[in-house]
Amino acid sequence: MLKNVTLGQYFPGDTVVHRLDPRTKLILVIVYIIALFQAAGWIGYAAVTVVTLLCMALSQIKPSTMFKGVKPMLFIIALTALLNIFYTTGTPVRPGWIVTWEGIARAFQMMLRIVLLITGTFLLTYTTSPIALTDGLERLLNPLKKLHVPVHEMTMMMSMALRFIPTLIAETDKIMSAQKARGADFETGSLISRAKALLPILVPLFVSAFKRADELAVAMESRCYHGGEGRTRMKQMHMAARDYAALVLGALFLAGMIVLKRLGL
Amino acid sequence: MSEIKTGGLRHVYSLGTPFEKVALDGIGLSIPQGQLAAIIGHTGSGKSTFIQHLNALLSPTEGQVLLGGEDINRDKYARRDVKQRVGLVFQYPEYQLFEETVYKDIAFGPTNMKLDAEEIDRRVRKAARFVGVEEELLERSPLELSGGQKRRIAIAGVIAMEPEVLILDEPTAGLDPAGCEQILSNILDYREKSGATVILVSHSMDDVARIAERIIVFDQGRLAMDGSPAEIFSRPEELVAMGLNVPKATELAMALRRRGLRLPESIFSHEQLLRALLALKEGRAC
């Protein structure tokens, strides 16, 4: 029942987008988000949408896969749209109504903005393995090490957390089955009794998570792990021509969006 | 009466997605009341999926499971009640312990059955005795006990529900020989005193050969073999072809047969091997 979590899932592939250096992709996602927030009018939104669809086509991610990622957010998207419809001043659709034409337009743009935001960031996680992603992040944040920010430790924790999500989900499933076999009931009863029913799942889950963490620490230490100092990598990251090309395209896109904003489009 | 019967049992995981996987493909079995049956099979052969169908944790994609002639999936009450009649002990059950004391943990099942306090107390103490847990341990925290003790407490938690059918998934995995021995004798004890059906999933062919009355072999979601230990272990080549082991004694007998010793086909315990070898020796001496 918990197996259909797509958040942060990686779909291996061999497209230009997959081959880009994770650092490039991280920077591009930030550029993309800034550019998205420059969109002020319909033309601006249209431009971002076209670019997003283009990237999706390049990475060969199916629209249905993307939709599955957006689905959990549908409620928030709908709520945002609803609020915007009712709280935007302007010309009423009919005299005396609260709903204005501007409100409808704004609601639509807001919906588009959230969907594009999710799509853009999912493009990153769908095409980059979690390991590559955290490696890229570490390299990007490298300058912060001068300020004694534990960048390596932070990214190491991140990759471990990502690594153990599926394991913990499988574990939860197993414990739930075991407690159900002992007659535990998770589906009926009042809210309080249902919350109490979670205890037989949470306690064993925490116990095993701590045990696992302990074992992992021992396993890492016995393989001489001692933090980021002087650590080399098996997979070196290389900025290729396509990375520079992608960054230039990203910069042009952002510049274009800023110009569009100035023009009020 | 609580005969277990499955008909055309089929289970497909992730039905309708690209990850579709047939785990069980037409399993038809009947296990009479009181039998001690062992299920063996390679990893991924469908044996764990199968046992989870027997207490309605999983529902079949096709086919049905009957307990005492009644479909256990007929409605949600039946699905709930069957869990009290068919006790399932998962692999590494010590990971399910959660209460503050051993007593409360063993009482979890009976409490969920909404029994009165007196009956719960009787069952907890009885179950604890079955698995050889001393009274003074009952007030300790289960988390501070040894691995073998935890395992036995987890098994007691299921036994306390007094199921008519007790299913155990690899109950001896990861225990030392003494711990294995103790758990197996606890299980045999429970069966003898309660008359329950016992279904054992195991990788240890020696255990299976020693205690099971019947062996059911799963291979790739299908029923590959079904018979008495003598029948099953007289076909060791087929077992090896399925990636399974044979008992140590059978293995030794096979090796000796290859060297030209004329040993009978169905040897699966040390005693049998010893007898056969002695008989051979005497035969030669005469």
pLDDT tens, residue by residue, B168-195: 999 988 888 888 888 899 999 999 999 9
- What residues of chain B score a pLDDT lower than 50? none
Q: Check whether residue A157 and residue A120 sit in a common domain.
A: no
Residue A202 is assigned to a structural domain of this protein:
yes
Is beta strand B4-13 parallel, antiparallel or unpaired with respect to B21-31? antiparallel
What is the phi/psi pair of residue A86, to 5°?
A: -90, -20
As a whole number, mean pLDDT of residues A126-152 equals: 88
Q: Is A183 in contact with B161 (CB distance < 8 Å)?
A: yes
Q: Check whether residue A121 and residue A157 sit in a common domain.
A: no
Q: Is B235 in contact with B39 (CB distance < 8 Å)?
A: no
What is the phi/psi pair of residue B65, to 5°?
A: -120, 125
Q: Is the pLDDT of residue A205 over 70?
A: yes
Q: Check whether residue A48 and residue A77 sit in a common domain.
A: yes
How far is residue B121 from each of residues B128, B157, B162, measured CA to CA in Å? 11, 12, 13
- CA geometry: angle at A23 spanning A21 and A27, to 5°? 125
Residue A137 is assigned to a structural domain of this protein:
no
Residue A172 is assigned to a structural domain of this protein:
yes
Instruction: Give the pLDDT of residue B269.
Output: 84
- CA geometry: angle at A164 spanning A162 and A170, to 5°? 125
Asked if A184 reaches chain B (Cβ–Cβ under 8 Å), the answer is yes
Tokens 């009885």 appear where? B126
Interval A14-42: pLDDT, tens: 888 899 999 999 999 999 999 999 988 88
Asked if A157 reaches chain B (Cβ–Cβ under 8 Å), the answer is no
Cross-chain residue pair B83–A185, CB shorter than 8 Å: no
Taking contacts as CB-CB distances below 8 angstroms, the residues of chain A near B87 are 181
Q: Is B138 in contact with B59 (CB distance < 8 Å)?
A: no
Q: Is the pLDDT of residue A4 over 60?
A: no
Coil, strand or helix at A173: helix
Residue A90 is assigned to a structural domain of this protein:
yes
Burial of B262 (0-12, 13-18, 19+ CB in 10 A): exposed
Among candidates B84, B90, B161 on the partner chain, residue whose Cβ is nearest the Cβ of A174 = B90
Q: What would the DSSP string read from start to end of B49-97?
A: HHHHHHTTSS--SEEEEEETTEETTSSHHHHHHHHHHEEEE-SSGGGG-
- CA geometry: angle at A121 spanning A116 and A125, to 5°? 140
Residue A158 is assigned to a structural domain of this protein:
yes
What residues form DSSP beta bridges with B218?
B41, B223
Chain B: residues touching A (Cβ < 8 Å): 14, 52, 55, 57, 80, 83-84, 87-90, 93, 95-99, 108-109, 112-113, 143, 157-158, 161
Q: Is the pLDDT of residue A1 over 50?
A: no
Among candidates B96, B98, B113 on the partner chain, residue whose Cβ is nearest the Cβ of A183 = B113
Q: Check whether residue A118 and residue A157 sit in a common domain.
A: no
Dig out the tokens for A212 from the structure: 């696992």
User: Which alpha helices (H) appear in B134-202, and where do they start and end?
Assistant: 147-159, 177-194
pTM: 0.76
Residue A203 is assigned to a structural domain of this protein:
yes
Is beta strand B165-169 parallel, antiparallel or unpaired with respect to B86-89? parallel
Is beta strand B70-71 parallel, antiparallel or unpaired with respect to B62-67? antiparallel
* Residue B205 CB coordination number (10 Å): 25
Asked if A207 reaches chain B (Cβ–Cβ under 8 Å), the answer is yes
Residue A201 is assigned to a structural domain of this protein:
yes
Q: Check whether residue A44 and residue A119 sit in a common domain.
A: yes
Q: Using CA coordinates, name the residue in chain B closest to A3.
A: B14
| Domain region containing A110 | 16-128+238-262
Q: Is B62 in contact with B8 (CB distance < 8 Å)?
A: yes
Closest CA to B128 of B99, B162, B157: B157
Tokens 């063996």 appear where? B40
Residue A85 is assigned to a structural domain of this protein:
yes
Q: Using CA coordinates, name the residue in chain B closest to A177.
A: B57
Instruction: Quote the CA–CA distance of A50 and A48 in Å, as a whole number.
Output: 5
Q: Is B13 in contact with B23 (CB distance < 8 Å)?
A: yes
Q: Check whether residue A169 and residue A202 sit in a common domain.
A: yes
Q: Check whether residue A71 and residue A103 sit in a common domain.
A: yes
Q: Check whether residue A163 and residue A199 sit in a common domain.
A: yes
CA dihedral B34, B38, B43, B46 (to 10 degrees): -40
The mean pLDDT of chain A is 87
- Report which residue type is found at B94: E
Q: Check whether residue A104 and residue A32 sit in a common domain.
A: yes
Q: What ipTM was predicted for this assembly?
A: 0.84
Q: Check whether residue A174 and residue A101 sit in a common domain.
A: no
Interval A210-252: pLDDT, tens: 999 999 999 999 998 887 777 887 778 888 899 999 999 999 9
Instruction: Quote the CA–CA distance of A14 and A65 in Å, as a whole number.
Output: 17
Q: Check whether residue A154 and residue A124 sit in a common domain.
A: no
How many percent of chain A have pLDDT more than 90?
Answer: 34
Q: Check whether residue A123 and residue A242 sit in a common domain.
A: yes
Domain count, chain A: 2
Instruction: Give the pLDDT of residue A6.
Output: 46
